[in-house]
Chain A
């Protein structure tokens, strides 16, 4: 009298669903160096934690007696699981079933995934492959009519940006809706060689605009690591999963919880001698910022995001005594570290990320100002610049500024909220003003220099006088800068600050006033 028979039928259907697109398609998929969708989920999640929803959703084929003779599962899998012990929602495309396109899909599953993340308040992980549920011509044939398109679950996709961490991976040739699902996220990573990302693939591009390019040329990592479409690049699917898990480890599961604090093995009072010489005395010499970061933050905690887009500014996550923070830092090797249209976009998005998930921000400043010249003007750099500055002013998360060297112009001033408490500390290498003195002297004293008998000597005298005036200690004397510190004290100072910052965070929990846009 039991229901055993139905459970056996259920198990049989689950087994059929586990075949995915069938042996041949799986082999072809694997031969390209890609994992199957079920392998990806297994490798991403903690062992045995995947709890699938809709495991037997798909299309059955029945004989005249109504018996199931064949079965194709839907090409999207979803469910919950754990990543390093923390619960998440996963939504993953199965490329072996109709290339992930909508004619192989089961209605409602993608939406169910996004809804689960939103309502259970858990991070959303999207493993995207193929068209990610986009339409296909085959489907029109089946339906016998076309339709006005709607992006499935997009109300939740948009809401989730302000609710839970959304992390996505581009794991194959991803176009259209799939590309949208990759990029509508807080963090996206694509895999070199096996993955490409584009609005439309080569055949549509050739037909639409006449450009004849391969998938790699149109949307491979060489294009996208510096396009701003995605955040990071990985050399393998396993590395992509590691990056996604790393990103999630700094963030809370949703906006109502605090970022997870870990126990740290790194001494919070560590004072590195190398910091005393980190900034060259020669103002024209750049320095390698990535060698400086581990001298300040917990050594193995630095996770850089978007390195090759807007490279003049470095953005990333790190920890101070186990407390997650976001950081901004200069890379003087790229345009002197000046603000470009791209780095301003990157900064705006990054500050919004920290604001959304209540990550305090450490701002290491060496800012010569916004990029100048015709190329910069054509990109509307000033407009992008003021947007980035507005994001910084609007941020309510605790922020601390460490001035490493330059603060010049609107760009320099905009790197911190000069009208709030503006908690900041300067290294003795600090060098600031509205305009840099080189070039400024020639403008200000042009008449005297032209009329002088020995203009070279006059210029040297004026420069020497300005050198004296330029000392950051004189600014401190006027309380124009609150505190100048020994660079070796930076880590202990920041570890003290992070305790204070985390004390303020509970008051700020919840949604931000405007939901972050991708």
Chain B
């Protein structure tokens, strides 16, 4: 099991993927709102999404896992 994590703290503004979807490395998966900007977060590795650990509006910390893949 692999995870995608954030590289900064912020609020989850938009989730652009769904469970079961296949994503590539570098693909934009969510958009964080941080420092008053909409920052896309990219997948560090590719795979099929098994679980999305956050909801839109949640606060996430730097380095927090947001999506699980295999």
Contacts and interface: CB of A to CB of B under 8 A. Distances in A.
B36 to A, nearest CB: 6
Contact of B35 (A285, A368, A374): A368
Nearest to B38: A284
A161 B29 CA distance: 44
Contact of B9 (A284, A334, A368, A373): A373
Nearest to A282: B38
Contacts, number: 50
B34 A375 contact: no
B9 A333 contact: no
A213 B62 CA distance: 24
B22 interface: no
Nearest to A439: B36
B37 interface: yes
Given A373-B9, A375-B9, A336 B62 contact: no
Contact of A333 (B33, B36, B39, B61): B39
A435 B7 CA distance: 24
A332 B9 contact: no
B62 A368 contact: no
Contact of A335 (B34, B38, B40, B61): B34
Contact of B36 (A336, A374, A375): A336
A165 interface: no
Contacts of B61: 373-375
Nearest to A337: B35
Contacts of A335: 7-8, 34-35, 39
A376 B38 CA distance: 19
A286 interface: yes
B62 to A, nearest CB: 5
A332 B39 contact: yes
B39 A336 contact: yes
Interface in A271-330: 283-286, 311
Given A375-B61, A375-B62, A338 B35 contact: yes
Interface of A: 283-286, 311, 332-338, 368-369, 371-376, 436, 438-439
